[in-house]
Amino acid sequence: MFEPGERCAPAVDIARRVRDGAARFGRDRGANVAILVGFAALPMIGLCGAGVEYARGVAVQSRLNAAADAAAIAAIRAAADYAAQNAGSQSGTALAGGIASAGQAQAAKAFAANAGWALRSVPVTPVVSVDRAGQTFTATVRYAASYPSTFAKLFGIEAMRVGGSAASSVTAASYTDFYLLLDTSGSMGFPTKSEDQARFAAANPDIQDAKGKNCAFACHFPGFRGYDLSVEMGIKLRIDSVGEAVQQFLTTAKQSRSLPNQYRVGLYPFVSYLATAGDVTSNLDSLQGPAGNLKAYMDVGDSSKPQGSGGTHFENVVPTINDRIQRLGDGISANTPKVSVFLITDGMDNNQYWYNNYGWTGSQSRLLDASLCNPLKSRGITISVLYIPYMPLTTPFNDNVGYENVRVNALIPDVPRTLQACASDGRFHTASSPAEITAALQKMFLQEAQPTRLTQ
Task: Determine the residue type at 425.
Answer: D
Range scoring the smallest mean pLDDT among 24-38, 216-230, 310-324, 362-376:
24-38
Q: What is the DSSP string of 309-355?
A: SBS--HHHHHHHHHHH----S-SSSTTS-EEEEEEEE--EEE--BEE
Who wins on pLDDT, 231 or 452? Answer: 231
Rounded to an integer, what distance in angstroms lies between the CA atom of residue 131 and that of residue 138? 5
Task: Determine the residue type at 229.
Answer: L
Top mean-pLDDT range of 78-82, 262-266, 332-336 = 262-266
Range scoring the smallest mean pLDDT among 100-109, 388-397, 435-444:
388-397
Q: How confident is the model at residue 57 (pLDDT cuts 50, 70, 90)?
A: low
Range scoring the smallest mean pLDDT among 100-109, 215-224, 237-246, 303-312:
215-224
The predicted pLDDT at position 52 comes to 56
Q: How many CA atoms lie within 13 A of 193 on its CB side?
A: 10
> What number is the average pLDDT over the span 2-21?
48
Distances (CA, A) of 55 to 22, 94, 158, 183, 332: 43, 46, 16, 70, 47
> What number is the average pLDDT over the span 129-155?
76
Asked if residue 139 lies in contact with residue 170, where contact means CB atoms within 8 angstroms, the answer is: no
Rounded to an integer, what distance in angstroms lies between the CA atom of residue 283 and that of residue 329? 21
Range scoring the smallest mean pLDDT among 24-33, 104-113, 272-281:
24-33
Q: How confident is the model at residue 186 (pLDDT cuts 50, 70, 90)?
A: confident
The predicted pLDDT at position 422 comes to 97
Rounded to an integer, what distance in angstroms lies between the CA atom of residue 138 and that of residue 150? 40
Top mean-pLDDT range of 6-10, 135-139, 367-371, 411-415 = 367-371
Other C-beta atoms lying within 10 Å of the C-beta of residue 247: 18
The predicted pLDDT at position 406 comes to 62
On the question of pLDDT at 388 being above 50, the answer is yes
Other C-beta atoms lying within 10 Å of the C-beta of residue 188: 29
Share of the chain above pLDDT 70, in %: 75
How many whole angstroms from its chain centre is CA 236? 34
Range scoring the smallest mean pLDDT among 92-96, 287-291, 390-394:
390-394
Asked if residue 142 lies in contact with residue 126, where contact means CB atoms within 8 angstroms, the answer is: yes
Tell me the residue ranges of DSSP E strands in 157-277: 159-171, 176-183, 263-270
Which DSSP symbol is given to 273?
S
pTM: 0.69
On the question of pLDDT at 429 being above 70, the answer is yes
Element (H, E) at 171: strand 159-171
Rounded to an integer, what distance in angstroms lies between the CA atom of residue 140 and that of residue 35? 55
Q: What residues does 267 pair with on adjacent strands?
A: 180, 278
Q: How confident is the model at residue 54 (pLDDT cuts 50, 70, 90)?
A: low
Rounded to an integer, what distance in angstroms lies between the CA atom of residue 385 and that of residue 444? 9
The predicted pLDDT at position 403 comes to 45
Who wins on pLDDT, 141 or 212? Answer: 141
On the question of pLDDT at 441 being above 80, the answer is yes
> What number is the average pLDDT over the span 414-429?
96
Q: How confident is the model at residue 121 (pLDDT cuts 50, 70, 90)?
A: confident
The predicted pLDDT at position 334 comes to 85
Who wins on pLDDT, 123 or 1? Answer: 123
Domain topology for 176-451: Rossmann fold (3.40.50)
Q: What is the pLDDT of residues 238-281, one digit of tens each?
A: 899 999 999 999 999 999 988 889 999 999 999 999 999 999 99
Of the candidates 239, 243, 247, the one whose C-alpha atom is nearest the C-alpha of residue 284 is 247
The predicted pLDDT at position 213 comes to 61
Cα–Cα–Cα angle for 134, 322, 299, nearest 5°?
A: 130
Q: What residues does 380 pair with on adjacent strands?
A: none
Distances (CA, A) of 169 to 71, 140, 218, 381, 447: 12, 9, 52, 25, 19
Asked if residue 79 lies in contact with residue 100, where contact means CB atoms within 8 angstroms, the answer is: yes
Asked if residue 304 lies in contact with residue 356, where contact means CB atoms within 8 angstroms, the answer is: yes
Start-to-end Cα distance in the chain? 91
How many whole angstroms from its chain centre is CA 413? 32
